Amino acid sequence: MVLHKEEYETSATYEEVGSPLYSNVIPKRHSDKGRKASSAASGVQRYRVGAITLGLLAVVQLVLIIYLAFHMEARNKNLTEERDELKRKLDVLVLKQDSWRAERDNLTSMNSETEGRSRTISLERDELKKKLNTLAQPGWTLFRSRAYYISPTKKSWQESRAYCQSVDADLMIINSREEQVFANSFKLHMWIGLTDSETEGTWKWVDGSPLTTSYWGSQEPNGKTEENCGEIKSFTTERSWNDGTCSLQLNWICEMKFAQ
Ligand code: 2F8
Ligand code: CA
């Protein structure tokens, strides 16, 4: 729309002059009153535009804050859920690790137990082999699951015992009437595994067990500290034992066990 200069001068109102429509129109004549009114109108206009802009900015800022708050809350919720899930998985892994550790320890102990048993079996097998080789030698007799050796030579009680021990046996221990009768049956003057060397008058077998049932001959034992070793002497009677001088050279009888 084009305004004629003459028209503007006569008919334009105060508000029309202050509006952007008239901004590039230079009035032909300006009075002081008109200039002041125009300047005031322009200031109010700028103030309104500024206020509206600030208001809009505040609204945008508020929307952004609300959006960020929701977004952060959702993100936090997700992170919390993820953390809880990871914690659960970690707990499961820790439990599995504990169970595997226990299983490993169990297997290790079973393994060492098996190794121990295997070593024991090997030792027992070697010992039995050695005993079987010994039994193949002359002089050995089996009686009631035990093996007995009657020596063809003579030695002191201590040397006789050392021989028996060298073949995984010991001097004979008599703890039944059966064995007493069996020992007498060889009709030989020989050492048995009985001594009171440790404490005079307290007779013990070579395995440390005390003497309970005894087969001392009449008036025996009588040698006090001079006679501290047991022997089969009067083998024609059941009560055949005598306490003799330990250094005496006699035959001897060993006894070999196969299980404890
Ligand atoms: O049998 C009686 C007596 O016989 C011998 O002494 C004479 C024995 N001595 C030895 O064997 C060294 C005694 O021990 C025995 O009591
Ligand atoms: Ca005696």
- 18 in ligand 1 pocket by Cβ < 6 Å? no
C-alpha 240 – ligand 1 centre gap (Å): 12
**Confidence check: pLDDT of 5 > 70:** no
Residues 254 and 157: beta-carbon distance below 8 Å: no
Q: Which of 227, 235, 237, 250 to mutate to test the pocket of ligand 1 (most atoms within 8 A of CB)?
A: 227
Q: How far is the CA of 181 from the centre of ligand 2 (A)?
A: 20
pLDDT digits (tens, 9 = 90+) for 129-185: 999 999 999 999 999 999 999 999 999 999 999 999 999 999 999 999 999 999 999
Question: How many whole angstroms separate alpha carbon 156 and alpha carbon 249?
Answer: 5
CA gap 230, 101 in Å, rounded: 60
Residue 156 CA to residue 163 CA, distance in Å, equals: 11
Question: What is the number of the ligand closest to the CA of 224?
Answer: 2
User: Ligand 1: which of 242, 248, 250, 251 to mutate, judged by most atoms within 8 Å of the beta carbon?
Assistant: 242
pLDDT tens by residue, 57-104 = 999 999 999 999 999 999 999 999 999 999 999 999 999 999 999 999
The response to whether residue 227 sits with its C-beta less than 6 Å from ligand 1 reads: yes
Q: Considering Cα of 175, then 178, then 182, then 184, what sign does the dihedral take?
A: positive
- The protein residues having their C-beta less than 5 angstroms from ligand 2 (an ion) are 220, 222-223, 227, 242-243
Helix intervals (H) in the chain: 5-11, 14-18, 32-135, 157-166, 177-184
Residue 221 Cβ contacting ligand 1 at under 6 Å: no
